[in-house]
Structure 1
Amino acid sequence: MNKEIENIIVKFLISSANEEELDQLGVWLKTKENVKLFGEYIEINYALDVNFNEFDNKNVKNALSEKIKQESSVFYKYKVYNVLKYAAVVLLFFGLGFIFKEHFFETPVDAIPEIVNTNISVEPGTNKATLTLEDGSSVVLEKGGAFQTQNANSNGEEIIYNKTSQSVTEVTYNYLTIPRAGEFFIVLADGTKVWLNSESQLKYPISFVEGETRQVELVYGEAYFDVSPSELHNGTTFKVLNNAQEVEVYGTEFNIKAYKDETNIYTTLVEGKVSVGTAGVKQNLVPNQQSNLNMIDGNMTVATVDVMSEISWKNGVFSFNGKSLKDIMKVISRWYDVDVIFENSELETITFVGVLGKDQSLKTILETIKTLSIIKNYEINDKTVRLN
């Protein structure tokens, strides 16, 4: 490892790297050999130095806090997440994943319990989906397999619909269903790109009728939309329906989270403009805003959020910005297809901030959480995880 990269890594860890340095680090980390060097460097220089004799811990925490406040632009945060996509290795004491945990530096080394020994390895999710065609038949799409219809092509990792030159008068629909431990990417016939998260289902036309509103339905789950602009489609708008709300867009990027086991629907605008409507009420969003629709009482609120944290799932990382352990485990359970049981209910409300790579095994993530004394023990038994 050369000195220049070493200096950039240090600056990255204390959140002082500029955009050019983040780009350089991201390129360097694209090889497995360099990712390994990165992890070894952190472990040698930080993880083993539990007392941080060379650092003023209080000042480091203050510097991190101030830097986070200063660098609030989506573009800069995207650079950081782009690096984390390659570098999200588990770091135990001064880790990328949990450098912002509030009482982190005060945890004495002898208070950290031993890691649970288990030979059970639950691997992360992968690209897979079930495509339901207009005639009702279903096809399993998964990595390594190919599938083709008159309207679409899939290589097992994505499905792309063809733009038709013929006039379409009747709308026919396909469904794309993503299971737990799955994700998938789709390009609709109008060029709109959609990333679908685990346990999600999208209903969409195989072709859009020219001159009419382009309309799809997020039946349930989570999806990120990069909508083809209206000016490319004779000014027609694009709508995303759900059983409780309607989102109207004009060419923009946004995220909708509407899981069946949750009572709230979250719509997060990254760029452009959308209006979120429900029960005769419409709310316009500007970038960095998120609407929160409570399906129990129908109330909708709007707040400014950390957009990159909300959409990090599509960039290959988990980002937990002040989330409770209960909410975090919901995300984990969908991606690893496991059920999580809290033996101690008090653990459910613990909150912390962290970033972890989605390509890590479940055991690796649980060991990290345990090492940070967030939980005392864990047990993996087939598809069930117990925390206490």
Structure 2
Amino acid sequence: MTKTKDKIRLQELAHKYLQGNLTKKEKNEVDKWFSQTNEEPLEVSDLYARDEEEHKQIIFNRIKEEIGTKRSRVFALWKGIAAAVFVIFAIGLGMWYFKGNNEPVIQMAKVSGNDIAPGNNQATLTLANGKTILLSSVVNEKLLKEAGAEVQKNSKGELVYKQLVPAESSELEYHTLTTSRGEQYQVILPDDSHVWLNSASSIKFPVNFASSKERRVFITGEAYFEVAKDKIKPFRVVSDSQLVTVYGTHFNINSYKDEAGTRTTLLEGSVDVNGTLLKPKQQAINEDGGIKVIPVNVEDVVAWKNGYFRFKAETLESIMRKVSRWYNVDVEFQSESLKSIEFGGIMTKYMNVSMVLKKLELTGEASFELKGKTIIVKNRK
């Protein structure tokens, strides 16, 4: 039987396949798996689907699209993906979860109470003069022009800063982009660096980098960076008790105060974390005044940015912190022992919270009740 970690990886690839986001390397990875395995089916994420028929239709539409536009590359995928259609719901909608013994548990889940929709792209922009602007899904709107910068929203809903000729004053003016629980947002800084801001987070940045010797920004919560290269002006990120220096790279910083330390994860390039250099696929854990470096699966770390939850031997307490931020809910545990239960799996985060809780209940380890804006985690009877 395919190992649990391999199944989780293949579920992720199936998820990306339906979105049309597989890279060439990932296509080859799927091709290789299907060429070696033809007896064990792969479950495909339900991805926004409300029911089984809609889920099947999404898959078939995606296959038809591949056949019509990329005929030469689709046939290796066809066999496995088409076969998967008939077993998608063998173990609950769109998801396999595994307990410590790596065996799936089939169980009917029950969630009482109301339902809560997933978070969305929304944030608040605070200007240098203290004025605030609520940012929603409106696009192609010129928001403002001040302090040597022009601010717009593009067709993707991203906040885009265009650096203009700096004003005579050398004093830097800062804007702050803030997300509450249930919100996320993206901003392209004046130097063309791209920042994804997770829920309950903020980034403070100069509206113009032209007059400064460095590109220094300040964050709280969690953010993913794709930094534009500039050999003259280093890019620096200040978070809780930490300074990260880069020259052009991709990395993620998790600095929530309710998490254990600040975690900086490098995807590509190189960064300096309080004097410690990281290599790709390494994470620096800054806790109790020291830095510990560990190897990590970067796809687990940035799953939030790519639109899904991805858990691998993760405690229920940690999982529920993520659920709390994304759905803007509070969480209560009936007993302390429930917090240490470990889960593994992936699922889209664009579903109502009741579906997330039902998938977690498939393990048979805990039950959930939703009362207003509070999730109560209970011992399984």
Q: Which residue of 2 aligns with 1:309?
A: 300
Matching residue within 355, 363, 371 for 1:381: 371
Q: Which SS does the other structure have where 1:347 is aligned?
A: helix
User: 1:115–1:371: 8 Å Cα contact kept in structure 2?
Assistant: no
Matching residue within 244, 248, 258 for 2:245: 248
Gaps of 5+ in 2: 1-6, 18-24, 35-43, 59-80
Name the aligned partner's letter for residue 190 of structure 1.
D
Offset at residue 300 of structure 1 (A): 1.3
CA distance in 2, matches of 1:337, 1:13: 27
Name the aligned partner's letter for residue 291 of structure 1.
A
Q: Which SS does the other structure have where 1:162 is aligned?
A: strand
User: 2:176–2:203: 8 Å Cα contact kept in structure 1?
Assistant: yes
TM-score in terms of structure 2 length:
0.74
Q: Which SS does the other structure have where 1:261 is aligned?
A: coil
Q: Which residue of 2 aligns with 1:133?
A: 127
User: 1:39–1:91: 8 Å Cα contact kept in structure 2?
Assistant: no
Instruction: Provide Cα deviations, 1:148-186, integer angstroms capped at 9, x if missing partner.
Output: 101201369321001224466321000001000000000
CA distance in 2, matches of 1:366, 1:275: 39
Q: Are residues 238 and 41 of structure 1, via their aligned partners in 2, closer, same or farther at CA, if it must alter by over 3 Å?
A: same
CA distance in 2, matches of 1:117, 1:212: 56
Q: Which SS does the other structure have where 1:140 is aligned?
A: strand
CA distance in 1, matches of 2:46, 2:365: 31
Q: Which residue of 2 aligns with 1:72?
A: none
Q: Are residues 298 and 304 of structure 1, via their aligned partners in 2, closer, same or farther at CA, if it must alter by over 3 Å?
A: same
Moved more, 11-20 or 171-180: 11-20
Matching residue within 286, 289, 310 for 1:293: 286
**Does residue 123 of the first structure (1) align with residue 107 of the second (2)?**
no
Offset at residue 313 of structure 1 (A): 0.5
Name the aligned partner's letter for residue 284 of structure 1.
L
Following superposition, which runs of at least 4 residues in structure 1 exceed 6 angstroms of deviation? 14-18, 21-25, 28-35
Q: Which SS does the other structure have where 2:359 is aligned?
A: helix
Instruction: Provide Cα deviations, 1:190-232, integer angstroms capped at 9, x if missing partner.
Output: 00000000000110000003461111011x100000000014x
Instruction: Provide Cα deviations, 1:281-325, integer angstroms capped at 9, x if missing partner.
Output: x1000000000011xx21210000010100111000111121100
Offset at residue 101 of structure 1 (A): 4.1
Q: How does 1:202-221 map to 2 (within 5 A)?
A: 202-210=203-211, 212-218=213-219, 220-221=220-221
CA distance in 1, matches of 2:152, 2:265: 30
CA distance in 1, matches of 2:191, 2:54: 42
Q: Which SS does the other structure have where 1:149 is aligned?
A: strand
Moved more, 145-154 or 259-268: 145-154
Q: Identity percentage over the alignment?
A: 31
Q: Which residue of 2 aligns with 1:355?
A: 346
Q: Are residues 300 and 374 of structure 1, via their aligned partners in 2, closer, same or farther at CA, if it must alter by over 3 Å?
A: same
Gaps of 5+ in 1: 1-8, 43-82
User: 1:141–1:157: 8 Å Cα contact kept in structure 2?
Assistant: no
Name the aligned partner's letter for residue 282 of structure 2.
Q
Query: May I ask how many residue pairs the two structures share in their alignment?
Result: 317
TM-score in terms of structure 1 length:
0.73
